[in-house]
Amino acid sequence: MNALLHVERIRKSFGATAAVADLSFEVREGEIFCLLGPNGAGKSTSIAMIASVLPPDSGAIRFRGRPVARRSPAYLRQLGVVPQDIALYGILSARDNLDFFASLYGLKDGEKRRRVDEALGFAGLEDRAGDKVETFSGGMKRRLNIACALCHHPSLLIMDEPTVGIDPQSRNHILESVRALRDAGTTVIYTSHYMEEVEAIGDRILIMDHGTRVAEGTSEALKESLGDVRRCRIELDGSEPFPAESLYRVAGVTSVSQDGALLEVESVRGVENLDAIIRAVTAARGKLLGVTNVEPSLEQVFLRLTGRSLRD
């Protein structure tokens, strides 16, 4: 796929704080490109620069090979932005909100009506088109917020945590809609605090921390980066704290964590120590209920690279 957007060594500081530091990546045409990172990683600041809301202190952003001037009308006509905070007029109806945002992009008369009807269908709100938005649930507002960014058929859609605080049904609707947009040719930049969302829809994933890139690739490629590690999960007979030091004496064991009755043990791949691990557990506890091999997950990659939880 051809690159639609090039981000080249952008930086942004607020006073003495560097929010984004030397960040580079490219977004390919027709893909869902996910930005993943803990709070304070620089995701929202990066999105603001790509959306031409903030100018970078240095570096460049190129769209279809051309430098993006701040608030360039030609660029903004190609761009749809779904902000993290809902941007709707509560006293207006769903249709009136869509009509207003469509007008901002110069749509008129019959074409505008067609696009508004299309957007209502996309959001699944045809039967609530005339109702005031202030009467909508959080999920309905989120869906309408996305629809407002799509009326003008943008080439690039930026979605900054679009599923925060909504019900599972609305979340599934949004994720399915994002895939449908991608399949129809729209390029999507998607940020999320939900690891499972990124795994479900991301064609490629960029993991950020401290304002810069720490890893990039498909979900499978990122998980393969943990190829030197093997994990097993042991179900204990009871949830009292397990003496982890007994497992650290087993050759190859590098990490032990406990969550209730589940014990997760990480070892160096290639060291055949499962029998020794089971013996150590039974010696310390007398009984175990089950042992399962654990396939690498995107969350494990994230924790390995950033050293902190996504929601920290």
Residue 200 lies in a domain: yes
- State the Cα–Cα distance between residues 55 and 185, nearest whole angstrom: 28
Q: Give 94-144 as a DSSP string.
A: HHHHHHHHHHHTT--HHHHHHHHHHHHHHHT-GGGTTSBGGGS-HHHHHHH
DSSP code at position 257: E
Residue 302 lies in a domain: no
Amino acid letter, 193: H
Assign residue 291 the CATH number of its domain. Answer: 3.30.70.100
Token readout for 272 is 């055949």
- State the Cα–Cα distance between residues 148 and 98, nearest whole angstrom: 5
Do 274 and 195 have their domain in common? no
Do 175 and 285 have their domain in common? no
Where in the sequence is the domain holding 247, given as residue range(s)?
228-295
Phi, psi for residue 97 in degrees, rounded to 5: -60, -50
Assign residue 182 the CATH number of its domain. Answer: 3.40.50.300
Residue 304 lies in a domain: no
Do 190 and 72 have their domain in common? yes
- State the Cα–Cα distance between residues 223 and 301, nearest whole angstrom: 6
Do 37 and 173 have their domain in common? yes
**Sequence-separated (6 or more) residues with CB below 8 Å from residue 114:** none
CA distances from 108 to 162, 214, 241, 283, 294 (A): 28, 45, 67, 76, 56
- State the Cα–Cα distance between residues 141 and 104, nearest whole angstrom: 20
- State the Cα–Cα distance between residues 274 and 267, nearest whole angstrom: 9
Do 160 and 267 have their domain in common? no
Residue 303 lies in a domain: no
Per-residue pLDDT of the chain (312 residues; tens, 9 = 90+): 689 999 999 999 999 999 999 999 999 999 999 998 888 889 999 999 999 999 999 999 999 999 998 878 889 999 999 998 999 999 999 999 999 999 998 899 999 999 999 999 999 999 999 999 999 999 999 999 999 999 999 999 999 989 888 888 888 988 999 999 999 999 999 998 788 889 899 999 999 988 999 899 998 888 887 777 888 999 998 888 999 999 999 999 998 999 999 999 989 888 899 999 999 999 998 888 999 988 777 877 887 777 765 554
Q: What is the pTM of this model?
A: 0.81
- State the Cα–Cα distance between residues 225 and 100, nearest whole angstrom: 47
- State the Cα–Cα distance between residues 189 and 9, nearest whole angstrom: 18
